[in-house]
Amino acid sequence: MSFSYKELRGIEKTRRSLLRQCEAPVLNIVCKWKGTCLRILVTDPLVWISFGIYVSLRVYYTVHDLPAFLVGFVAGSNGNIIVIGAFMTFILAYYAKEGLNRFDNQYELCMSAKESVLDVASLARSHLPREQGLRIVRYMNASHAAGFVGLSEVYSYQKYFLEVNKSMLLLTENELRRVAAYEMDNGGSCYREIIQWVQIEIKDLMDSGTLDKHTAKQFRTKLLEFQSSLSKLYNFADQPIPFFYIHFVCLVSTLYLPLFSLFCIHAISLQILDTEEESKGRSYEHAMDVGMCFIMFLQSSFVIGLRAIGRKLSGPFGDDYEDLSVMSHITYTWKHSSRILVAEKPVSNNQNSMTETEILLKRVSVGDTWMKSDKILFINEEIAVNSTTSISTI
């Protein structure tokens, strides 16, 4: 599903705010709605099917006895419910862990790409002329923004990249016409094309003698690291969690929850028979119904919640609130790489500035043994300066 730039900014704002909720009090976290499993539980048909089975059979049991076939079926599987639940715990926990591992790995790749852009900006500021440095860093930011377009339908060329390009001016009109031919939505050819522009710039600078071979090698190393990080993101997108495994998890959970509902019906019917013999009344039965419904909701939250965690975290470039903050990463990288390019060394050689030795002596001591040599050096410098002043006066 493709979103407008305004909608993407709204989703991104919610994502960033949810990241700060992890340290909130427990009750505040439990009562949240956005970015939680409650939205999934409310809209998942399996939850309503399970509760529908329980409620319908419970109402039927108030008038008639449960069918003998149903009672025999549940009684026959009663002893295996605990075993099946243990297997479900293992399968779903492993599935959720696999999704979390994929999420963490893709996050690390995003951070690696961001760091490579900042490293190139630092090298460009210190080793390249201003015009060439600005162009190379602009290309790096353009490639960084273009690298996320082909990963999902959420970040499209028309509604995402062009809008980002308007505010950051990453590519000129001629350059946009060049990359438009590569159909950015269909793969990673576009960001690789822009990386090659940087490679060509570096080779031209090296051929002209502006850039030495050692520094050019540093640039190329960072470029290849950057390209490798984005390429691995496409590898994750090309090979998600195998469908066979996902189908198995969905099938087992779909069969387990209705069976658990039947088990709850059978268990509460036995308890009702005991309460009728003890004459505890209808209020006691209603309380048992409430408690059983709570157990069913808790079991549904566990099964469906873990299944949703594995599915959502395995692909972190969608429209979910728990996905990665792509737009924030791109904006941060562009802003800080631009700040690196305008960095200026402060003037420190005038008469009012302190020498490095004076700064060292004014710091908190790291120990007399280590500071002693510096004090002697400073005293010798003072004696030398005073002697030179006396001679010049004479």
Condensed to tens digits (0 to 9), the pLDDT of residues 193-209 reads 999 999 999 999 999 99
**Which of 10-19, 65-74, 379-388 shows the lowest mean pLDDT across its residues?**
379-388
Quick one: 288 and 372 in the same domain? Answer: no
Residues 272 and 314 placed together within one structural domain of the fold? yes
Q: Do residues 311 and 374 both lie within one domain?
A: no
Question: Distance between CA 82 and CA 232 in Å, rounded?
Answer: 41
Which of 10-24, 172-186, 219-233, 288-302 shows the highest mean pLDDT? Answer: 219-233
Alpha carbon separation from 295 to 48, 266, 268, 288 (Å, rounded):
14, 14, 12, 11
CA atoms of 334 and 139, how far apart (whole Å): 11
Dihedral-angle region of residue 279 (phi above 0 means left; psi in -120 to 50 means alpha; beta otherwise): left
Same domain flag for 322 and 380: no
Distance of CA 304 to the CA centre of its chain: 22
**Is 142 part of a structural domain of the chain?**
no
The answer for residues whose C-beta is within 8 angstroms of residue 41's C-beta and 6 or more apart is: 47, 297, 300, 301, 304, 305
291 confidence band (pLDDT: 50, 70, 90)? confident
| Contact by Cβ (8 Å): 36, 28 | no
Given this model, what pLDDT does residue 377 score?
A: 57
**Within a domain: 322:** yes
Token pair belonging to 48: 């309503």
Q: Tell me 321's DSSP state.
A: T
Is the pLDDT confidence value at 109 over 60?
yes
Per-residue pLDDT of 4-51, as tens digits, reads 888 889 989 988 888 888 777 888 888 888 888 888 888 888 888 888
- The 10 Å Cβ neighbour count of residue 15 is 20
User: Tell me, what's the pLDDT at 126?
Assistant: 92
Rounded mean pLDDT, 133-161: 92
Let me know the angle formed at the C-alpha of 259 by 254 and 263, rounded to the nearest 5 degrees.
Answer: 155
Beta-carbon contacts of 298 under 8 Å, excluding residues fewer than 6 positions away, are none
Short-list 128, 158, 155, 24, CA closest to 341: 128
Same domain, 96 and 11: yes
- Residue 18: the pLDDT is 86
The H-assigned helical ranges of 20-80 are 26-30, 38-43, 45-63, 68-77
* Predicted local confidence at residue 170, as pLDDT: 94
Phi-psi region of 237 (alpha: psi -120 to 50; beta: other; left: phi over 0): alpha
Beta strands in the chain (DSSP E): none
- Residue 248 inside a domain? The answer is yes
pLDDT band at 391 (very low <50, low <70, confident <90, very high): very low
Task: Write out the residue range of the structural domain in which residue 81 sits.
Answer: 5-104+240-340
Q: Which of 340, 364, 380 is the C-terminal boundary of a domain? A: 340
Q: How confident is the model at residue 393 (pLDDT cuts 50, 70, 90)?
A: very low
Residue 306 lies in a domain: yes
Element (H, E) at 300: helix 282-314
Rounded Cα distance between 33 and 310, Å, is 19
- Are both 332 and 389 inside the same structural domain? no
CA dist., res. 173 & res. 185, Å (int)? 19
In a domain, 289, yes or no: yes
Report whether pLDDT(215) > 80: yes
Look at the chain and report how many structural domains it folds into: 2
Q: Which of 240-254, 320-334, 377-391 has the lowest mean pLDDT?
A: 377-391
Average pLDDT of the residues in 218-231: 95
Q: Is residue 210 part of a domain?
A: no
Q: Residue 141: how many CB atoms within 10 A of its CB?
A: 26
Give me the mean pLDDT over the 311-324 stretch: 89
CB 154 within 8 A of CB 8: yes
Distance, CA of 262 to CA of 71 (rounded, Å)? 9
End-to-end CA distance of the chain: 87
Taking residues 313-332, report their average pLDDT: 91
Question: What is the pLDDT at residue 208?
Answer: 92
Separation of CA 83 from chain center: 35
Closest to 179 measured CA to CA, from 207, 145, 213: 145
* DSSP structure class, residue 36: S
- In the predicted model, is pLDDT for residue 381 greater than 70? no
Q: Is residue 171 part of a domain?
A: no
Is-above-0.85 flag for pTM? Answer: no
- Segment 225-245 shows an average pLDDT of 92
The sign of the CA dihedral 153, 158, 162, 163 is negative
Q: Which residue has the tokens 């470029």?
A: 223
Residue 42 lies in a domain: yes
Q: Residue 392 above 60 pLDDT?
A: no
Q: Same domain, yes or no, for 247 and 333?
A: yes
Max Cα separation, the chain? 123
* Same-domain status, 285 and 372: no
**What average pLDDT does range 281-303 have in this prediction?**
80
Are 109 and 148 in contact by the 8 Å Cβ rule? The answer is no
